[in-house]
Amino acid sequence: MPLYWTSFVTGVSIAFPLPELTASGCRVTFHKVLNDENCLFDVRCIVKYLLMLGDIRLLEEGPISGDIVIFDAVHAKASMVSKLINPIVKKGIMCSQNAFPQRLKEVHVINVSSYLDSGINIIKMFVKPKIKDRVRNYKKNEWYKKLESYRSYFEDQENVCSNEPKRINKAEPTPTEYEELFGTKGSFSKLSID
């Protein structure tokens, strides 16, 4: 495959490992399909791109505890899901499971639509049972719906305030106490530098 595919892939999706490891020593990789109506979603190019990221990490990275993948599927389309049912995807998954030393700890797929959910279930057929259990799907707008369900609670919180006469210690905090609680006292809107 000629090298022109690199510009093709970066126009269709982005995928990159985050620079810092997690506290448990895992590398987080973020992957997102871009919102391009005219893009030609070529699974071969994307699998090659992801395997090349793995190669670069093998060359540059020391030992890590494992990989955490976050895939944002907000722009994934039904036509893309049908292309994932492909022998190249199966070979890419097998290669990453068996040939790369990094071990997959977690996969989080966010903004999953109903048609993508069924596509993910098909892909799960290609992976080991242990990895299948590590894949988590999060529906589109799941948290927005939850936030909306707490609407009355947050509206009530707008009217909550402290009852100052019931305070035991009415003394103003000392400057040191104030700085410990709230940071530097005052406003920097008129900061003059000599």
Which residues span the domain enclosing 101? 5-140
The model's pLDDT over 145-186, given as tens digits with 9 standing for 90+, comes to 888 899 999 899 888 888 777 776 656 666 666 666 666 655
Q: Copy the structure tokens of residue 127.
A: 């992976």
Reported for 135-138, long-range contacts at CB under 8 A and 24+ positions apart, including other chains, are 135/107, 135/109, 136/106, 136/107, 136/108, 136/109, 137/109, 137/112, 138/108, 138/109, 138/110, 138/111, 138/112
Helices (H), 13-61: 43-60
Residue 193 lies in a domain: no
Residue 136 lies in a domain: yes
**pLDDT at site 23:** 94
Residue 15 lies in a domain: yes
- Using CA atoms of 118, 72, 138, 158 in order, give the dihedral in degrees to the nearest 10: -150
**pLDDT at site 57:** 87
**pLDDT at site 178:** 63
Residue 124 lies in a domain: yes
β-pairing verdict for 13-17 and 26-33: antiparallel
Q: What is the mean pLDDT of the chain?
A: 79
Number of domains in the chain: 1
Phi, psi of 9 (to 5 degrees): -65, -45
Residue ranges of the chain whose pLDDT lies below 50? 1, 3-5
Contact call for residues 135 and 93 (beta carbons, < 8 A)? no
**pLDDT at site 20:** 92
Residue 20 lies in a domain: yes
What CATH number is associated with residue 71? 3.40.525.10
Residue 176 lies in a domain: no
Q: pTM (2 decimals)?
A: 0.67
